[in-house]
């Protein structure tokens, strides 16, 4: 179902009237406030220009609360994948929701995932774009070529990845001196009239005069280098540049000419969410945390989420969506103060599951571990996404599956009379069971009480 077109949020004004003019304007102001109270409900959003580009103007709202796929990064030191929490917060602050794109996701996994999310965020980090990132970029181009408005946003390293992917050159980046520095932007291309991104809100205007953008990068692409690269100039418009601490002018923001692909070399998510300070004068000490900077951060988020609302991608069913959403992630402060918190994911287990054909939960004694919970969730995800993957539970493994599926570790009952016994089975609907209809040999379990294969040695079960 299509919704009415959304608009830019009305946020606080960035300038105040001069005192000498305040009294004459009082009566007009009262009337204006009264009129605004009537007007705002129907126009919660605004733009600074009537020149709305054709790429976006006629597209309806197809998804009210879009889901963004956030590409995770690999942490070699800890042997897992992670997402910096501030990126998820930034997405959620604008009304979006987040799911993880595994760092080493296969094409088969990505095919399902990209049809389920409404946009992709390439966050900051380190390293060159991997095979998953390359495939995501190519699929985003294909979606849009087929009339499916699918946005991609790159921040810092994500900006650099979009440069490398479009140029087809992982060595194209230049060295810049822009680590832990807040900078101004020099706008290009009559940004308010021509840029979809910077024409979105008047709040971006102040970026030309105040050093608000948070920069934490040693790589980038110089404006002169960008202009000399045909694969970049034919595809992207440079929206803004900044000068590094050595006076070099590098590209700070761009957008694709004909695709909803946007990138900034700075970090909008740090202004509201990365407050960490190691008290030694390093880390986040130069990030602007003013109200003005935070509103600008949110406005960037509103723009991106607004773009993501314009496609109808969705998960196959509510259960698959719920399992994928980053609603209750594992958080770590191990990277503090550089990152206040990170979402961590056991990448080694992902690779393990990808290399085996099934999983066995054997008998034993303890309650389900986080590893067991992750494996159970992973098996469900694989099967929902079309990969047939089996899981077997024996004794304690049986109990784990009951506990994991219900989410209740206390659900088991005491069955003290099932220790060291061999019992018959009362088969329930055996003809409908994939397991017990597999072979007529199972019929003997209804009669024989002495088979070691039916031995009982447990104190708990589900009655």
Task: Report, as residue numbers or ranges, the catalytic residues.
Answer: 156, 267
Is omega for the bond preceding 337 within 30 degrees of 0, making it cis? Answer: yes
> Cα(308)–Cα(65) distance, rounded to whole angstroms?
9
Helix 107-114 and helix 131-145: axis angle, to 10°?
Answer: 40
Dist CA 279 CA 179 (whole Å): 18
45 DSSP assignment: B
CA 371 – CA 359 distance, rounded (Å) = 12
A 10 A CB-CB count for 334 gives 13
CA atoms within 13 A on the CB side of 435: 7
Closest by Cα among 273, 257, 253, 256 to 265: 253
Q: Which two tokens stand for residue 422?
A: 């061999």
Distance CA 456, CA 423 (A): 7
Structure tokens at 214: 């948070």
Q: Which of 208, 191, 209 is nearest to 200 (CA)?
A: 191
| Cβ contact 87:121 at 8 Å | yes
Residue pair 184/289 in contact by the 8 Å Cβ criterion? no
In sequence order, the 6+-apart residues with CB closer than 8 A to the CB of 410 are: none
Reported as type and span, the H/E element at residue 151 is none
Secondary structure (3-state) at 49:
coil
Enumerate the β-bridge partners of residue 136: none
**Residue 48 to residue 201: CA distance in whole angstroms:** 6
CA distance 205 to 49: 13
* Structure token digits, residue 342: 């990170």
Q: Is 32 helix (H, G, I), strand (E, B) or coil?
A: helix
Start-to-end Cα distance in the chain: 46
């Amino acid at each position: 179902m299509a919704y009415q077109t959304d608009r830019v949020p009305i946020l606080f004004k960035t300038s105040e009237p001069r005192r000498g003019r305040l009294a004459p304007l009082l009566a007009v102001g009262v009337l204006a406030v009264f009129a605004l109270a009537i007007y705002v409900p129907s126009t919660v959003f605004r733009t600074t220009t009537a020149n709305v580009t054709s790429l976006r103007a006629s597209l309806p709202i197809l998804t009210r609360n879009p889901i963004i796929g956030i590409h995770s990064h690999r942490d070699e030191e800890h042997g897992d994948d992670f997402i910096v929490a501030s990126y998820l917060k930034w997405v959620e602050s604008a009304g979006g929701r987040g799911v993880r794109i595994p760092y080493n996701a296969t094409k088969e996994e990505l095919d399902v995932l990209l049809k389920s999310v409404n946009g992709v965020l390439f966050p900051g980090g380190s390293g060159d774009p991997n095979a998953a990132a390359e495939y995501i970029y190519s699929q985003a181009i294909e979606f849009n070529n087929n009339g499916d408005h699918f946005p991609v946003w790159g921040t810092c390293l994500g900006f650099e990845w979009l440069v490398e992917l479009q140029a087809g050159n992982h060595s194209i980046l230049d060295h810049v001196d822009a680590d832990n520095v807040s900078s101004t932007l020099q706008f290009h291309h009559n940004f308010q009239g021509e840029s979809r991104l910077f024409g979105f809100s008047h709040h971006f205007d102040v970026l030309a005069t105040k050093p608000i953008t948070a920069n934490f990068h040693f790589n980038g692409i110089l404006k002169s280098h960008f202009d000399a690269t045909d694969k970049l100039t034919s595809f992207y418009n440079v929206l803004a540049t900044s000068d590094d601490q050595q006076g070099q002018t590098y590209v700070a923001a761009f957008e694709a000419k004909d695709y909803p692909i946007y990138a900034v070399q700075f970090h909008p998510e740090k202004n509201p969410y990365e407050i960490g300070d190691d008290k030694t004068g390093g880390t986040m000490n130069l990030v602007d945390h003013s109200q003005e900077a935070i509103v600008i951060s949110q406005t960037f988020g509103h723009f991106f989420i607004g773009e993501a609302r314009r496609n109808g991608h969705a998960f196959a069913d509510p259960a698959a969506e719920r399992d994928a959403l980053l609603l209750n992630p594992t958080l770590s402060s191990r990277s503090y103060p550089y990152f206040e918190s990170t979402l961590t994911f056991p990448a080694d287990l992902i690779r393990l599951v990808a290399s085996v054909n099934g999983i066995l939960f054997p008998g034993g004694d303890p309650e389900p571990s986080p590893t067991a919970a992750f494996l159970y969730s992973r098996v469900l995800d694989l099967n929902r996404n079309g990969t047939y993957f089996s899981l077997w539970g024996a004794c304690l493994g049986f109990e784990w599956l009951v506990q994991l599926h219900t989410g209740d570790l206390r659900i088991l009952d005491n069955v003290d009379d099932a220790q060291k016994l061999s019992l018959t089975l009362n088969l329930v609907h055996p003809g409908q069971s994939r397991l017990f209809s597999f072979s007529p040999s199972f019929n003997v379990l209804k009669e024989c009480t002495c088979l070691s294969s039916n031995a009982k040695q447990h104190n708990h079960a589900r009655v």
